[in-house]
Chains A and B, each alone.
Chain A
Amino acid sequence: MPAWASFAVPFISTAAAAALLAVLLAATGEDPIATYTRMFKIAFVGADSISATLTAATPIMLTGLAIAVSFRMKAWNLGGEGQLYVAAAAAAAVGIALGDSPIGLAVLAMIAAGAVAGALWVLGPSILRVRLHTTELLTTLMLNYVAALLLLYLIFSSSSYVRDTSPAALVYPQGKAIGESAAWPSVTIGEIVLPLGYLIGLASAVTLYVCMRFTRFGFFIRVIGDASATARYAGIRTNRVFLIVMLLSGALAGLAGASQIGDFSHTLEPRGLVSAQYAWTGVIVALIASLNPLGVVVTSFMVGGLRSAGFELQSSQFPSGLIGTMEGLILWCIAIGLVLVHFRITRSSGLAQERDRKAVVQPVEAQPAHGTGILPSENGKL
């Protein structure tokens, strides 16, 4: 995809999605223009708004990076939700256990616990994929529901370590608060608050970008993503790269979960985490950014604004569900936009392609024009 298209497609798609949503808003009796104006103000005007947007953008950016790195090699980790949940539980447990320790230690331990828990939650499906060719797309996804139930169990149906078991909390079950020194610090620039999780996300984005662009490992990921048979033929150990990428992806989603505890809620809130569906939003921002880690920083900020405004408006006449609809519409428009761009390019350079095809030896695995590689095909096996 040419550079102009990776900017034009998301912009035009977002505009198209906004127009479609305006129709829906008007149909259900809301004034679209007034709604959009209010959303923009709440999301992006003023230091408080920006801070709130950054808060919403933090988990979205981290899960978006998780998706960007795995989708780039066509490893379909759709289990970001589950990885985020279990990481939140692990970080909460560590935060409670190390609540009185020197500040740096507890925070570092929580970050590590989140990353490890997220990676462990994706380890099973990854091994099944490598060993038995079981599609990770559905196995990771199934574990989302298991993780959600695990969190509900920890808080509502057991007297687990992360549950508040004091008499006051008996009426409505809730998580135990992490210790004071386990609350993550934040950086304030001007009046804008940058949570630690956001900074971790920024650092991860830059690291990932450099890694994907300039290292041998990043090159392997791209080759496997574009032509897995070629990669195997060239001697790249695809299974090993697959495992590392999946674990990395799980760890990034896990960081989002740890940051939810350390930065924001300071206690495990299963219902809030599950209904927020941050990791699905991560899928959106990653695909809007064409799986570019630096692009994810930008798109997660925009979508974070949408989230923050939606959350702010939700209580009044702004019905819930509109945010997801908008996000889905944007992705839908992008799916179409990508094809239109592709179509234009193949048309204009058809002659050159014809020449190339005659000159180059037949590739090991014929790649259809577009829409390929949806199900992992290892000799045609799922």
Chain B
Amino acid sequence: MNDSLVVQLIASGMFFGTPILFAALGELLGERGGVLNLGVEGMMLMGAVAAVWTTTMVTGNRTVVLFVAIFVAVVAGMLTATLFAFTVITVGANQLIAGLAIWIMSGALGLSSYLASAGDLTGQRALVTFSRINVFGLQDVPIAGPIFFHHNALVYLSWLFVALVHFYLYRTRWGLNLRAVGEDPRAADALGISVVRYRYIHTLLGGAGAGLGGAFFALALSPVFVEGVTAGFGWIAIALVIFAFWKPVPLMLGAYLFGLLAGLGVNLQARGMAVASEVFNAIPYLMTIAALVLASSLWARARPATPKSLGLSYSREAH
């Protein structure tokens, strides 16, 4: 039963969806504070190259190396995000232009590829990778085994993050403040909430999420670094935040839906279905468009909350 296509698809959907989920959770936090970060894809690539580089540099216990690699990838994502945050929060530059600049600067044609070729990492296989854990020895339980108890550690970490982000947004004062900043920075400022600090912290968390998503590519999914290895998953993450109406739990379901579509080709080909891989690979991108259409038409009826200051810079002096 555990070999049936449906179970396999769901399990692989969770696997392929995890990098999207990490990146999208980070993007969600930033957007809830009113910062639209279009540089996610670039930040993911920085995380991916940093993770592969770390595995070639650090030797020792496998768990330690993986910890260090994740840490370095998160730092790489956050450093890139710092550059972006400075531009759009401190300087107040146009978020769209700054985001595109960050994507081009660090993306497939830019810094991530430069660092990879300078460090001789292009085509480099990560020397240490994540492997699946047999949680509580339950991996062979019918249906639930492959879906819940047989993933790598990062998948479980992402579940923790979803719960944390949900709790943070809706059950803590900081989460409330963040949402206030995203809705109406002027009112939040008048209440004594530091708009700048909130936006910086959550844009950096966005970079951390993207770096982690990139590390997932480099250490589990790919696990080879090539130019543009993240293949547009960062952009899908941005679309997913819209599709999930800026809510963490729907975000998780959406990420797994896209993961399922991304893994469809691999699964069907493993069962001897002879369709060109390009056809399957195109499905996630086409479905992203479908999801955006769905979101925009649902929108017309339900009017869910887009953070009202999304994409707008805030300065106390401007009126």
Q: A143 to B92, alpha carbons, bound, how many Å?
A: 30
Asked if B139 is at the interface of the complex by the 8 Å CB criterion, the answer is no
Q: How many residues of A contact B (CB 8 A)?
A: 61
Question: What residues of A have a CB within 8 angstroms of the CB of B93 in the complex?
Answer: 335-336, 338-339, 371
Closest chain A CB from B40 CB (angstroms)? 12
Mark B164-175 against chain A: 1 for CB-CB distance below 8 A, else 0: 000000000000
Question: What residues of A have a CB within 8 angstroms of the CB of B68 in the complex?
Answer: none
Question: By the criterion CB–CB under 8 Å, are B87 and A336 in contact?
Answer: yes
Which candidate, B55-63, B70-78, B202-210, B277-285, is the interface stretch facing chain A?
B277-285
Which candidate, A88-96, A97-105, A164-172, A280-288, is the interface stretch facing chain B?
A280-288
Question: By the criterion CB–CB under 8 Å, are A339 and B91 in contact?
Answer: yes
Closest chain A CB from B264 CB (angstroms)? 14
Question: What residues of B have a CB within 8 angstroms of the CB of A374 in the complex?
Answer: 36, 94-96, 310-312
Question: By the criterion CB–CB under 8 Å, are A369 and B315 in contact?
Answer: yes
Closest chain B CB from A126 CB (angstroms)? 13
Question: By the criterion CB–CB under 8 Å, are B83 and A380 in contact?
Answer: no
Mark B296-319 against chain A: 1 for CB-CB distance below 8 A, else 0: 110110010010101111010011
Asked if A331 is at the interface of the complex by the 8 Å CB criterion, the answer is yes
Question: What residues of B have a CB within 8 angstroms of the CB of A16 in the complex?
Answer: none
Q: Which of A15-30 contact B (CB under 8 A)?
A: 24, 28
CB closest residue in chain A, given B287: A142
Question: What residues of A have a CB within 8 angstroms of the CB of B242 in the complex?
Answer: 135, 138, 382
Q: A153 to B265, alpha carbons, bound, how many Å?
A: 14
Closest chain A CB from B196 CB (angstroms)? 14
Q: Which of B84-139 contact A (CB under 8 A)?
A: 87-88, 91-98, 100-118
A132-B296, A157-B278 known; A328 and B110 CB under 8 Å?
yes
Q: A275 to B32, alpha carbons, bound, how many Å?
A: 34
Question: By the criterion CB–CB under 8 Å, are B83 and A332 in contact?
Answer: yes
A133-B296, A138-B239, A143-B289 known; A371 and B109 CB under 8 Å?
no
Question: By the criterion CB–CB under 8 Å, are B293 and A324 in contact?
Answer: no
A143-B289, A335-B87, A368-B312 known; A149 and B114 CB under 8 Å?
no
CB closest residue in chain B, given A157: B276
Q: A125 to B113, alpha carbons, bound, how many Å?
A: 30
Interface residues of B, dominant DSSP:
helix
CB closest residue in chain B, given A158: B276
Which of B107, B235, B276 interacts with A138 by CB under 8 Å? B235
Question: What residues of A have a CB within 8 angstroms of the CB of B239 in the complex?
Answer: 138, 142
CB closest residue in chain A, given B117: A319
Question: What residues of B have a CB within 8 angstroms of the CB of A321 in the complex?
Answer: 109-117, 227
Q: A128 to B232, alpha carbons, bound, how many Å?
A: 21
Question: By the criterion CB–CB under 8 Å, are B100 and A283 in contact?
Answer: yes
Question: By the criterion CB–CB under 8 Å, are B105 and A157 in contact?
Answer: no
Asked if A322 is at the interface of the complex by the 8 Å CB criterion, the answer is yes
CB closest residue in chain A, given B120: A319
Question: What residues of A have a CB within 8 angstroms of the CB of B277 in the complex?
Answer: 157
User: Which residues in B have some Cβ–Cβ distance to A below 8 Å?
Assistant: 36, 83, 87-88, 91-98, 100-118, 227, 231-232, 235-236, 238-239, 242, 276-279, 281-282, 285-286, 288-289, 292-293, 295-297, 299-300, 303, 306, 308, 310-313, 315, 318-319
Q: Which 8 A-B pairs rank lowest in CB-CB distance, beginning with the nearest?
A: A328-B105, A324-B109, A321-B114, A321-B113, A324-B110, A374-B311, A369-B318, A157-B276
- 20 CB contacts below 8 A, A to B, read A132-B296, A134-B295, A135-B296, A139-B292, A150-B282, A283-B100, A284-B104, A320-B227, A321-B113, A321-B116, A324-B109, A324-B110, A328-B102, A338-B94, A339-B93, A339-B94, A368-B312, A370-B94, A370-B318, A374-B95
